[in-house]
Amino acid sequence: MITRGSGPAAACLCLALLITGCSQGDQALTGILQARYHLNGVDAALEESRRIELQASCLAGVYLAADRKSFPITADWAGEYDYLVHNTDDPERDHGRRANHGGWSLAGIDTGDPAACNTYLAASPLVS
């Protein structure tokens, strides 16, 4: 749950959440969801969920980066967006820690490159 934000950055976060759902469709179409990887002693289902969700958040950032001409990214907007993506609650613990969610979300928007969203090669602490 987000407890702060009602300006343009909050609106973009809502857009990013919508795009996250679309990104998950892209993950399914490209075969990413069928990828296999070795998980050393961690809760495999929970880690898989986090990798999927964090990747989708990153891909939402890639979309926002690609669509920068549609909305201005001011310093105020960037600061509010940073706050919002680092302060979303995850009571089920299936979307990753706040710091990791923020990090992956910003990686997408900062690079604008889907290659920055490869959560499947990331070490477990980066998707915890």
Q: Which pLDDT tens digit goes with each residue over 45-100?
A: 888 889 999 999 999 999 888 888 887 778 888 898 899 899 988 888 888 999 99
Residue 117, in any domain of the structure? yes
Using alpha carbons only, give the angle 112, 119, 127 rounded to the nearest 5 degrees: 120
- Flag whether pLDDT at 14 surpasses 60: yes
Residue 68, in any domain of the structure? yes
Domain that holds residue 49: 8-127
Whole-number percent of the chain with pLDDT over 90 = 35
Alpha helices in the chain (DSSP H): 8-30, 44-66, 75-86, 98-111
Residue 1, in any domain of the structure? no
* pTM flag (> 0.85): no
Residue 3, in any domain of the structure? no
